[in-house]
Amino acid sequence: MSPITGGAFVVATLAKAGLFFTVLILSVMLSTIVERKFAGFIQDRSGPNRVGPWGMLQVIADGIKNIIKEETMPAGAIRPFFLLAPVLAILPATILFAVIPFGAPLPTQWGLVEMIVADVPIGFLYILAIGSIGVYGVALGGWASGSKYSLLGGLRGSAQMISYEVALALSLVPLILLAGDVRVPEIVSMQQAFTAGPATYSTWFLFPLLVGAFFFFVSGLAETNRLPFDLPEAEAELVTGYHTEYSAMKFSMFMIGEFAHVITIAALVTVFFLGGWDIPFWTGDNIRVLSDGTLIGDPTWWKTVLTLGAFSIKASLVVVIFVWIRWTLPRFRYDQLMDLGWKFMLEAVTVYILVIALVILGIEAVGIPKGGWYAFVLFLVNLGLGSVLLFALDKGTLIRGAARRGPEDTGDSDSEGNTVEGKA
């Protein structure tokens, strides 16, 4: 069966765009409920429980409130940019969904419909380019509000997002070295086990690129401005940060953009490192459309439904981890945040790229073909690099706990009995 073409392709693309946008908005609504309930569980309280069964309709009540609420325009605001900032905050996360494959192709009487809005040949580069637009909404929102608190939040946010955007992009370079392609569906296919067609690794990239997945996840946390990287908001210091002067639906658009960005990062983690829509320990979902249109596998409608469910479960688990981290870790100081990005993450990712490139070169020189042993060697290398990263390089300086503090930090006596003043 060949992919659909002509008018059917246009109709299918418009239908997929509308469907995926609706699913994204509904997922944002569901994620707000999940976060509130999870926060209530961690803090030993009920969470929302008055509107609808188990408080599930609380998000509907909040939406109606924000729609009918009066909007304010600060006297010192720059109106065009003040109105544009919420749009730029929500736009990148929504249009990134265009290049994310959510399931196996769906066979129809008009041809094969792939579960992706736009299978562009530069999908990976598209993700990096569109993802960098989010900083404009934060910077414009803080600057155009005419408030010093908003401006400080916007400056913090733009500096943070630019800093960790570099590490985010570099953490995916080993992925491209391993996959050898920038098409997102091809990256998913490389993690499946095919008996025909081009060789694959038959394992999720989480294992041969374990350290890279860690760097990508941490950078994604920073890009979404969530704890422990929520310095742009920092309620105790900057009121609510760059969106202090926003109200009603404009404020809601910033919140929708934040949760949509979380869902987008979760979807990217799923695609790049968790096999995408691949169902583990089952080869029946191994369906692949090559760049020349050749179909490998047996697509059916129920396989499409199952793979859509597998993708949703994986992405949902990543979102739950995001929420879990938010309600368990404290916020960084701003100097700690910038030091982590520029003095550690950037250097560590660069060294990681070099090591992985050399290992891949060595594996290919030995003659190991793409497959399980290829991935296993990379997995062992990543285990060693992870051990060095967390235990050998740290030495109580990067990941520093209270138990490792010396007398110079506490005002205690040093080894000679002299009292040392504590640091501010």
CA distances from 108 to 18, 70, 278 (A): 19, 48, 21
Decide if 403 is inside a domain.
no
Weakest-pLDDT range from 162-171, 192-201, 410-419? 410-419
Decide if 140 is inside a domain.
yes
Between CA 318 and CA 140 the distance in angstroms is 30
- For 219, other C-beta atoms within 10 Å of its C-beta total 25
Decide if 208 is inside a domain.
yes
Between CA 289 and CA 63 the distance in angstroms is 41
- Structure confidence by residue, pLDDT tens digits, 31-80: 888 888 888 988 888 888 888 888 888 888 988 988 888 888 888 888 88
Contact by Cβ (8 Å): 126, 120: yes
Decide if 408 is inside a domain.
no
Decide if 420 is inside a domain.
no
Between CA 161 and CA 307 the distance in angstroms is 33
Helix (H, G, I), strand (E, B) or coil at 365: helix
Mean pLDDT for the stretch of residues 324-352: 86
Contact by Cβ (8 Å): 224, 261: yes
Domain that holds residue 369: 6-398
Q: Counting every residue, how long is the chain?
A: 424
User: Is residue 103 pLDDT above 60, yes or no?
Assistant: yes
Position with higher pLDDT, 399 vs 222: 222
Decide if 407 is inside a domain.
no
Nearest to 272 by CA among 64, 96, 11, 148: 96
- For 348, other C-beta atoms within 10 Å of its C-beta total 22
Residue 53 DSSP symbol: G
User: Is residue 359 pLDDT above 90, yes or no?
Assistant: yes
Q: Provide the domain count of the chain.
A: 1
Decide if 156 is inside a domain.
yes
The region, left, alpha or beta by phi > 0 then psi within -120 to 50, assigned to residue 104 is beta
Q: What is the pTM of this model?
A: 0.87
Position with higher pLDDT, 225 vs 378: 378
In which band, very low, low, confident or very high, does the pLDDT at 352 lie, cut at 50, 70 and 90? Answer: very high
In which band, very low, low, confident or very high, does the pLDDT at 204 lie, cut at 50, 70 and 90? Answer: very high
Decide if 234 is inside a domain.
yes
Contact by Cβ (8 Å): 104, 115: yes
Between CA 187 and CA 184 the distance in angstroms is 5
Contact by Cβ (8 Å): 420, 407: yes
